[in-house]
Structure 1
Amino acid sequence: MFRDRTDAGRQLATLLSHYRDAQRCIVLALPRGGVPVGAEVARALNLPLDVLVVRKLGFPGHEEYAVGAIATGGIHVTGEDVPGVARVLKRERRELQRREHEYREHCAPLDLRGMTALLVDDGLATGLSMRAAVIAARALGAASVVVAVPVGSATACDALKGQAPHADEVVCMHVPEPFVAVGNWYRSFGATTDEEVRRILAQWR
């Protein structure tokens, strides 16, 4: 179990030491919960940090159950054909645009051409958000895509390894069976705020 996301990031970085000081390599954290994790990974590996914004598409009326995800660049991944999801998609696209504007401020859009992208989140449940992030990183020109998380379900990790377009490498510290929830692996798993994301990114910029 991890104390919090900061502790999880420090532990995760130990499995990624082969990327330390790597050229043309960047840590892309998935907001919001992945940003504190990604910041510690980037610090340990001496790599730049940025965000790749994704939004989960929740089942209408039961938003905690993911049926798809969207990501930067108009990427849309759907796990199920669900009535009413179009309204959810419209709402989440607005929220994704808001976060892009708020987190990126006046910085240029991501240019991943020829880069190795280390995609970091605080955990994988369905894996749909991370799958959207992998597709987005590919679309933005990343030469190699690595998924790195402290904990994840076996189903999500296996899917990211096997389904095209898949990640080149999937690093998951813990794959518990049975998998219940990402938060079960953290003593402190409070919501990460927009302000915390902005503060972390401002430190790196």
Structure 2
Amino acid sequence: MFKDRIDAGLQLAEKLKRYKDKENVVILAIPRGGLPLGAIVAKSLNAKLDVALSKKIGHPFNKEFAIGAVSLNNIILDDDIEISISYIEKEKKRLREKLKKRLALYYRNRSPIALKDKIVVIIDDGIATGNTIRVTAQLVYDRRPEKIVIAIPVAPKSTVQKLNLASYIDEVVCLETPFNFQAVGQFYMDFDQVSDEEAIKILEEFYAQ
């Protein structure tokens, strides 16, 4: 469906071109996989680029299965999970320590962009449950933006419907909602992991131009 993240980013940029050259647009990429796409979209739209720091909370018996997500200020959990409060609290503390370290890494040479009264476009390379992007949207909503847009190349139809129902999200742009969705990577020919070092380099090169 997509050759790589560059291809997906170019296709997303085309879908978002109505936001081009608007002074108050901020592209907020979810590290690490969302940054290659976010940089392409921000450059195409002549917009600012920043990162959203959040982490998924994995199921205790399958860490890849997200049961929620956490940011430095918010936490979101699936409605129908039956997981002990002690596990959630332990994971929240552990993940927030990781996020604090990532915050120091990504903002070595600059400060986060203020999001008040901005059109904030939150970008990732694809989503499954949508929990990480939902907690990110909640975090952004608390900063009183003008509008919150979720932009992703691929996601299950049910997840897109869930995002559309969220009161704190104004618009969802999703290029593909395939029927047989198992994982984001199945819809990319090249889906190599993006390291923090690569993501930071993309961000620094964007602002060096």
TM band (smaller chain): over 0.9
The unaligned stretches of length 5 or more in structure 1 are none
Q: CA deviation digits over 1:37-62, x for unaligned, max 9?
A: 11111111111111011100001131
The 8 Å contact of residues 111 and 141 in structure 1, kept in 2 or not, is answered as: no
Residue in structure 2 matched with residue 172 of structure 1 by the alignment: 174
How far did residue 191 of structure 1 move? 0.8
Residue in structure 2 matched with residue 26 of structure 1 by the alignment: 26
Residue in structure 1 matched with residue 83 of structure 2 by the alignment: 82
- State the Cα RMSD in Å: 1.2
The 8 Å contact of residues 50 and 112 in structure 2, kept in 1 or not, is answered as: no
Q: Which amino acid aligns with 2:164?
A: K
The 8 Å contact of residues 123 and 151 in structure 1, kept in 2 or not, is answered as: yes
TM-score scaled by length of structure 2: 0.93
TM-score scaled by length of structure 1: 0.95
Q: Which SS does the other structure have where 2:16 is aligned?
A: helix
> In the alignment, does 2:101 pair up with 1:98?
yes
Q: Percent identity?
A: 36
**d(CA) in 1 for partners of 2:177 and 2:44?**
23
The 8 Å contact of residues 148 and 171 in structure 2, kept in 1 or not, is answered as: yes
The correspondence of residues 38-77 of structure 1 with structure 2, limited to 5 A, is 38-72=38-72, 74-77=73-76
**d(CA) in 1 for partners of 2:146 and 2:82?**
31
Q: Which amino acid aligns with 1:18?
A: R
The unaligned stretches of length 5 or more in structure 2 are none
**Number of residue pairs the alignment of both structures matches:** 203
The 8 Å contact of residues 26 and 50 in structure 1, kept in 2 or not, is answered as: yes
Residue in structure 1 matched with residue 11 of structure 2 by the alignment: 11
Residue in structure 1 matched with residue 186 of structure 2 by the alignment: 184
**d(CA) in 2 for partners of 1:19 and 1:147?**
13
The 8 Å contact of residues 54 and 96 in structure 1, kept in 2 or not, is answered as: yes
**d(CA) in 2 for partners of 1:71 and 1:146?**
18
Q: CA deviation digits over 1:55-82, x for unaligned, max 9?
A: 000011311010110124x111111341
**d(CA) in 2 for partners of 1:81 and 1:96?**
25
The 8 Å contact of residues 60 and 85 in structure 1, kept in 2 or not, is answered as: no
The 8 Å contact of residues 54 and 69 in structure 1, kept in 2 or not, is answered as: yes
**d(CA) in 1 for partners of 2:46 and 2:111?**
21
The 8 Å contact of residues 57 and 66 in structure 2, kept in 1 or not, is answered as: yes
Residue in structure 2 matched with residue 160 of structure 1 by the alignment: 163
**d(CA) in 1 for partners of 2:121 and 2:96?**
24
